[in-house]
Chain A
């Protein structure tokens, strides 16, 4: 019988054959990621009586959500994590200087096609950008996986997303994803393995594929997937993965997709998610002119090197509007170093940006908070009420290009004049 990627990946991870959607299996992930929740995992492990670890080399820890520590309590949580690393010999440990877990793990060659990867973060769907099955779980499940090596998983149905390109000038993968989420709504992909197909998807860089797979979560996806290809192999080789050890999985030609959705990107305007839900999406023309107090370019959705380069292109030679705060938080230390070497960081600072250390930053509520009544335009993936400070503040979501143009204008602005 023809199989989808998700079925194949869970057969590989469980050692079982003949799986069908709906079945529940015990699956053994290749990697268990914990971010700032690491200390909670350690406390849980201690409560269990410190049982033996199944495979410490499958554990990855990244101190990304609150970095550097803001309080003595958080500093203690970080210290507990470092002590655990030293005591147990955890080699995949990335401290407060590294950046956002998802991007850091991919940059360090820890994500491979066909792997099952679980993380204490809903946006673990992003690992599908390299052809892995990534999904988010709670910290108890990560702790359980440390000890047993496995977790229960329901074999998901699959959804195919076909995107028609090329995109007009000033329109980016973020806009395609906001359009998709608006169309199918915040639970349109719940429990599904979402696969992105089509020649436009094939033309994307790995970084752009990360944006697709990251945001698929906002439609409820269990995991997201772009079929690995030559671009994937290029990225993996560049980041130190031995390609001889890589065994990609893809859906069979005649595999069954329970749902197929098409997005026509060829005539798309930039898209904006209006507060307080990610599926509350409108074309930019409907909200252009909305005053912003703060612009945030950050998060695992859109703070990669290409995102910063796009923002710099629109900010070069410009100054942000008076009274607007532009906060830029590169996704990782490697991205920040490259952006610094290429002059992008200087361009952003000269335009008036505040550059923070790499990490989740304002998206996770660490800095960049808003007062009552304020508005942020953000390149992140969530605009929920109270996520960035006051419960009476508002978050709009956009691409980095719209964010940069809006920082200059002081109001939500399309970077391109359209008919």
Chain B
């Protein structure tokens, strides 16, 4: 299951501040599951049902600095995929959240100028092939992913990438 099925992803946005941590994104008590949809029902639970409802209708998560700080739990990325998030646009990420996002096929881009301009509810589009965020009638470039990361994203995640590679080697 991957969000990265197209180069251009997006829709309505939900906006968060700085230092959103993994215990808020997916509390540790739910890590007994690896089902993205089940995990998605608990995404952002500590922030209450209103935020969770809004998240369900928001394919793009916009955040400030250090999004996903804290735990190495990969489910912090998969729960977002499970709830229907297609892309995250943030000022910066914790390094392990960024890895987990790419490795689970969740598009996560750093684009401070876009974060500055976007208000909650705005439509936001991310073209990771071109390295461009489009929102509020403007375009915001970001540094495109290195080839190795793009290959993983295009495959839908690290494991899918390896499985495709193995299949090709066999075939």
Q: How many B residues touch A, CB cutoff 8 Å?
A: 39
Residue A20 at the chain B interface, CB threshold 8 Å: no
In chain A, what residue has the closest Cβ to B28? A365
Asked if B65 contacts A187 (CB within 8 A), the reply is yes
- Give Cα distance in the complex from A124 to B99, angstroms: 15
Which positions 22-81 of chain B face chain A at CB distance < 8 Å?
Answer: 22-24, 27-29, 31-32, 34, 45-46, 65-66, 69-74, 77
Report the minimal beta-carbon distance from A257 to chain B, rounded to whole angstroms.
Answer: 18
Q: For B163, list chain A residues within 8 Å (CB).
A: 48-49
CB distance from A334 to the nearest CB of B (A): 25
B94 nearest in chain A by CB position: A220
Q: Name B148's closest neighbour in chain A (CB-CB).
A: A152
- State whether the Cβ of A167 lies closer than 8 Å to any Cβ in chain B: no
Judge if A144 is at the interface, Cβ distance under 8 Å: yes
Contact in complex: A138, B159 (CB < 8 Å)? no
For B136, the chain A residues whose CB sits under 8 A away are none
CA distance A387 to B22 in the complex (A): 10
- Which residues does chain B contribute within 8 Å of A186, judged by CB atoms? 19, 66, 69
Taking CB atoms, residues of chain A closer than 8 Å to B21 are 277, 382, 384
Of B22, B72, B158, which contacts A144 at CB under 8 A? B158
Residues of A within 8 A of B71 (CB): 121-122
Cα distance, A374 to B168, chains bound together (Å): 56
Q: Is A207 an interface residue (CB 8 A)?
A: no
Instruction: Place the interface of chain A in its size category.
Output: 35 or more
Please tell me if the beta carbons of B96 and A77 are within 8 angstroms of each other in the complex. Answer: no
A187 contact from B23, B92, B96, Cβ within 8 A: B92
| B162, A147: Cβ atoms closer than 8 Å | yes
Q: Look across to chain A and name the residue whose beta carbon is closest to the beta carbon of B69.
A: A186
Closest to A391 in B: B46
B-contacting residues, A178-235, CB 8 Å: 186-187, 190-191, 220, 222
CB of A47 within 8 A of CB of B27, answer no
Does A220 lie within 8 Å of B46, measured CB to CB? Answer: no
Given known contacts A44-B159, A382-B70, A386-B46, is B19 in contact with A190 (CB within 8 Å)?
no
Known A-B contacts A44-B159, A152-B148, A220-B66; A122 and B74 likewise in contact (beta carbons under 8 Å): no
Q: Is there an interface contact between B159 and A140, defined as CB atoms closer than 8 Å? A: yes
Asked whether A40 lies within 8 Å of B34 as measured between CB atoms, the reply is yes
CB-nearest residue of chain B to A386: B46
Contact of B72 among A24, A121, A364, A384 (CB under 8 A): A121
B3 → chain A, closest Cβ, in Å? 15
CA of A122 to CA of B70 in the docked complex: distance in angstroms?
7
Query: Is the CB–CB distance between A187 and B94 below 8 Å?
Result: yes
User: Which residues does chain B contribute within 8 Å of A137, judged by CB atoms?
Assistant: 72, 96, 99-100
* Contact B92–A144 (Cβ < 8 Å): no
**Cβ–Cβ < 8 Å partners of A24 in chain B:** 146, 148-149
Residue B13, interface by CB 8 Å: no
Q: Does B82 contact A (CB under 8 A)?
A: no
Judged by a CB distance under 8 angstroms, whether A413 is at the interface is no
- Indicate if B2 sits at the interface (CB-CB under 8 A): no
Contacts A40-B74, A124-B72, A141-B158 known; 18 new A-B pairs at CB < 8 A: A48-B159, A122-B72, A138-B72, A138-B96, A139-B74, A152-B148, A186-B69, A187-B19, A187-B66, A187-B92, A190-B94, A220-B69, A220-B94, A222-B95, A365-B27, A384-B23, A385-B23, A387-B28
Chain B interfacial positions (CB closer than 8 Å to A): 19, 21-24, 27-29, 31-32, 34, 45-46, 65-66, 69-74, 77, 92, 94-96, 99-100, 103-104, 146, 148-149, 157-159, 162-163, 166
What are 16 inter-chain pairs, A to B, with CB distance below 8 A?
Answer: A48-B162, A49-B166, A120-B72, A122-B96, A124-B72, A138-B77, A138-B99, A141-B103, A144-B162, A186-B19, A187-B69, A190-B95, A277-B19, A387-B27, A387-B28, A391-B45
The 8 closest A-B pairs by CB, nearest first: A138-B74, A136-B72, A384-B23, A187-B66, A138-B100, A122-B72, A386-B46, A391-B46
